[in-house]
C-alpha cells in the first residue's frame, strides 16, 4: 500500500504542531539530565576556578590568582612533568604494542587465542589493575624477582611513574589490538595482493601499504589514548595516591587532592580547567598535524 503524498492529511497544521510537542517531549528528559548534570557543572567549575573557596564560607573572587599560583607551586610542577611523561609513555607504548599484536595475530589460525592474554586485562577496572600491580611491584615482590633487582617501585621517582605506565600498558594494549584488528579487516585486499605479486613481503608490505592505509585509524587510536591518559586517576590513586610526598602525582590526581583532601575548591577547579584546556589543545594540535600531513601525501 503506497501513500500518495499529494493527499492532505486532515488537520495538517495541528498534526505538525503535535509532532513538535511529541518531539520535544521525547528529547527533553535526556536533554534535561545532560544539561543539569553535565553542562551546568562544567560552567560552574569554570567560574569557580577564578575564586577562592573552602567549601564552607562563601567563595571569594580572586581573578587569575589561582592560575598565577601554578608557577609558584612546586607540587604542580612535578605533576605537570609526570603528566607529560605519562602521556608520552601511554600513547606510544600501548598503541604500538596493540598494533604489533594485531599485525602478528591477524588471520592466523588460533589468532583469537593468541590475543586472549591481551584482552583479559582490558576488562579489569583501573582500580583492579592498580591492586594487582601494587602487589607485583611491592618491595621484594614479583617485579623485583623477575628483574633480579631491589628497587622500590612504588616509592622512588621516576620508577613509580614508569611502573604505573607499565601497569597501564598491560591493561590498555588489548583495546588497541581490537581497534587495529578492525582496521586491518577494513583494508581492501587488492593493494595487498598486487604488492605481494610484485614481490613485496613482510616489512616492505607493511611500510608502504598497510601502514598508510591504517593511518586514519592510528590517528584515532592515538587521539583516544591521549585523552584517556590525561584523565588518568584510578590507577594512580590506587597504586600511590600520587605519593609518596606527591612525587608521582598527575594532573587529574592533583585536582582531586587539592579539592577533596586539602579543601581548596577554587584552586582545584583551576587545575581541572587547566587539564581540560591542555587536553583540548593537545588533541587539536595532534589532529591538525595529522590532517595536514595527509594533505601533503595527497
Partner 1 sequence: MRESRAGWLIRRAVLTVLGLFWLIPVYLLLVNAFRPSTGYEAGKIWVPDTHFGLFDNFREAWNSAGLGPSIASTVLYSVAAPAIGVLLGAMAGFAIVVLRLRAGFWWFMLLFGGTIFPTQMLLIPLFLGYSSTDLYDRRGGMILVYTAISVPLAAFVLRNFFTGVAYAIYEAARVDGASVWRIFWRIYLPLALPALAAVFVLSFNFIWNDLIFGLTLSQTDTVRPVMTALSSLSSAYAGTTVPVTLAAGLVMSLPTVAVFLGTQRLFARGLALGQF
- Give the footprint of partner 1 on residues 84-113 (CB under 8 A): 97, 101, 104-105, 108
Our finding on whether 124 is near partner 1 (CB under 8 A) is yes
Q: Which stretch binds partner 1 (CB under 8 A): 21-29, 74-82, 83-91, 156-164?
A: 21-29
Minimum distance, C-beta of residue 20 to partner 1, in the bound complex (Å)? 6
- Considering only 64, 88, 120, 284, the residue that binds partner 1 (CB under 8 A) is 120
Minimum gap (Å) between residue 298 Cβ and partner 1: 25
Other beta carbons less than 10 A from residue 195's beta carbon? 16
Length of the chain: 298
Site for partner 1 in 156-215 (CB under 8 A): 170, 173, 178, 181-182, 185-186, 192-193, 196, 202
Measure the CA–CA gap between 78 and 103, rounded to whole angstroms: 37
State the Cα–Cα distance between residues 53 and 223, nearest whole angstrom: 34
Could you tell me if 197 and 160 are in contact, meaning their C-beta atoms sit under 8 angstroms apart? no
Size of the site for partner 1 (CB under 8 A): 92
Report, in Å, the least distance between residue 39 CB and partner 1.
8
Within its chain, how far is the Cα of 192 from the centroid?
32
Nearer to partner 1, 86 or 237 (CB): 237
Range 247-276, binding partner 1 (CB under 8 A): 252, 255-256, 259-260, 265, 268-269, 271-273, 275-276
Q: Kindly report each contact of residues 282-288 with a partner whose C-beta sits within 8 Å and lies 24 or more positions away, as own/partner.
A: 282/87, 282/226, 282/230, 283/223, 283/226, 283/227, 286/219, 286/222, 286/223, 286/226, 287/219, 287/223
Q: Is 34 in the site for partner 1 (CB under 8 A)?
A: yes
Which C-beta is closer to partner 1: that of 132 or that of 287? 132
Identify the residue among 11, 24, 261, 284 touching partner 1 (CB under 8 A).
Answer: 24
> How far apart (Å, rounded) are the C-alpha atoms in residues 86 and 80?
10
Contact status: 26 vs partner 1 (CB under 8 A): yes
Q: Assign residue 263 a region: left if phi > 0, alpha if psi is -120 to 50, beta otherwise? A: left
Closest by CA position to 273, among listed 54, 62, 49: 49
Examine residue 60 and tell whether it contacts partner 1 (CB under 8 A).
Answer: no
Q: Which of 135, 156, 284, 289 touches partner 1 (CB under 8 A)? A: 135
Amino acid at each position: 500500500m503506497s501513500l500518495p503524498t499529494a493527499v492532505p492529511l486532515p488537520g495538517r497544521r495541528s498534526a505538525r504542531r503535535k509532532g513538535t510537542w511529541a518531539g520535544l517531549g521525547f528529547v527533553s528528559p535526556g536533554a534535561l539530565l545532560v544539561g543539569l548534570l553535565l553542562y551546568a557543572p562544567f560552567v560552574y567549575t569554570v567560574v569557580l576556578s577564578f575564586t577562592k573557596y573552602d567549601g564552607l564560607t562563601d567563595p571569594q573572587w580572586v581573578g587569575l590568582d589561582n592560575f598565577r599560583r601554578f608557577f609558584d607551586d612546586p607540587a604542580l610542577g612535578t605533576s605537570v612533568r609526570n603528566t607529560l611523561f605519562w602521556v608520552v609513555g601511554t600513547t606510544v607504548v600501548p598503541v604500538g604494542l596493540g598494533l604489533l599484536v594485531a599485525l602478528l595475530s591477524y588471520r592466523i589460525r588460533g589468532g583469537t587465542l593468541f590475543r586472549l592474554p591481551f584482552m583479559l586485562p582490558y576488562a579489569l577496572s583501573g582500580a583492579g589493575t592498580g591492586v594487582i600491580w601494587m602487589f607485583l611491584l611491592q618491595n621484594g615482590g614479583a617485579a623485583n624477582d623477575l628483574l633480579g633487582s631491589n628497587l622500590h617501585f612504588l616509592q622512588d621517582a621516576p620508577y613509580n611513574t614508569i611502573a604505573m605506565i607499565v601497569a597501564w600498558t598491560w591493561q590498555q594494549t588489548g583495546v588497541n589490538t581490537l581497534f587495529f584488528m578492525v582496521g586491518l579487516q577494513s583494508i581492501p585486499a587488492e593493494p595487498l595482493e598486487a604488492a605481494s605479486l610484485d614481490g613485496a613481503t613482510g616489512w616492505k608490505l607493511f611500510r608502504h601499504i598497510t601502514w598508510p592505509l591504517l593511518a586514519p585509524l592510528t590517528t584515532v587510536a592515538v587521539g583516544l589514548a591521549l585523552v584517556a591518559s590525561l584523565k588518568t586517576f584510578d590507577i594512580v590513586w590506587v597504586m600511590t595516591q600520587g605519593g609518596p610526598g606527591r612525587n608521582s602525582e598527575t594532573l587529574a590526581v592533583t585536582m582531586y587532592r587539592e579539592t577533596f583532601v586539602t579543601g581548596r575548591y577554587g584552586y582545584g577547579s583551576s587545575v581541572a580547567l587547566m587539564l581540560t584546556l591542555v587536553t583540548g589543545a593537545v588533541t587539536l594540535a595532534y589532529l591538525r598535524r595529522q590532517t595536514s600531513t595527509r594533505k601533503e601525501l595527497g
